[in-house]
Amino acid sequence: MVEERPEVSVIVVNWNSGEALDGCLDSVGEAAEGRRAEVLVVDNASTDGSAEGAGVRRGVRLIRNPENVGFAGAANRGLSEASGEALLLLNPDARIDGEALGRLLGLMKEDGRLGMVGCESVDAEGRRAPGYEMSFPGQRGVTVAQREGEGRDVAWVSGACVVVRREMVEDIGRLDDGFFMYCEDVDWCYRARKAGWRVVTLPGVTVKHELGGSSTRVSAVERARWAAESRARFYRKHYSWGRAGWLRMRMAASGAAGMLWRALPGVFSRAVRERMGVSWAVLRAAVGSGRAAGGEERE
């Protein structure tokens, strides 16, 4: 007897997420009750014991990376080993309920050209993050064509909670792990839309998500460097040489201006010195090359 493919594979990338991961996996277990589902936790060499806790859970498959390969690299490992008809990427500090999962999967089944569907996030204090944008970095104001049916067509949706069609992944490839962190979801959606797949957000559906997650465990300067290098990489991949150069010049000017503006008070303020470090990280990423921005695309 041939075993049925899971309806959905839930892929959670973990890096020192602590107790948040337990809450995430609890929510997944409840949301997926009654469905054919598999849960994969891909751990990026955590040292806080969260991976060990996930590994002893019934129904959870733990995949360990010997080092932190970034979000895209870890998600790709999960995508390569998942067997579900649909693939849900979910942040370890996010929680999903059965209604949200059902609506996301249901919409995916209604349209064979729907490649990705995301939704809004809300944190414990009620702050909302829409989880999508109507345009890509460097192309503000470009209208996204709408199509018939439920769901709003958008430029890109957040990888914090997104359901992905397996056929789309087979068509355009997995995430580009040259993005260590940030913009990997933007790049993926860009490639999907370019290949003719729909990328939509589903109004009225929310997941609980503590905004920031594991990234807050590193300094603001390091986060700024990752974000700036990833944005520069996105420009180089998808825009002409001239446009990418112009956008990187704007980034450099912004970083330089930030440093100059804070230079004098920075002598006396630790907080301002940290913000100067952020501006310096942006400037370096714009004029140089780094881990997340360099190299060839790997899918």
| DSSP codes, the chain | -PPPPPSEEEEEEESS-THHHHHHHHHHHHHTTTS-EEEEEEEES-SSSHHHHHHTSTTEEEEEESS--HHHHHHHHHHHH---SEEEEE-TTEE--HHHHHHHHHHHHH-TTEEEEEEEEE-TT--EE--EESS-TT-TTPPPPP-SSSSEE-SEE-TTEEEEEHHHHHHH-S--TT-SSSSHHHHHHHHHHHTT-EEEEEEEEEEEE-TTGGGGGS-HHHHHHHHHHHHHHHHHHHS-HHHHHHHHHHHHHHHHHHHHHHHHHHTT-HHHHHHHHHHHHHHHHHHS--TTTSS----
**Per-residue pLDDT at 120 exceeds 50:** yes
The model's confidence at residue 114, banded by pLDDT at 50, 70 and 90, is very high
**Per-residue pLDDT at 295 exceeds 50:** no
Domains parsed from the chain with CATH numbers: 8-215 (3.90.550.10), 218-287 (no CATH)
pTM greater than 0.85: no
Q: What is the pLDDT of residues 174-210, one digit of tens each?
A: 999 999 888 899 999 999 999 999 999 999 899 999 8
Q: What is the pLDDT of residues 38-55, one digit of tens each?
A: 999 999 999 999 999 999
Q: What is the pLDDT of residues 151-176, one digit of tens each?
A: 999 999 999 999 999 999 999 999 99
Residue-level pLDDT at 170: 97
Residue-level pLDDT at 235: 83
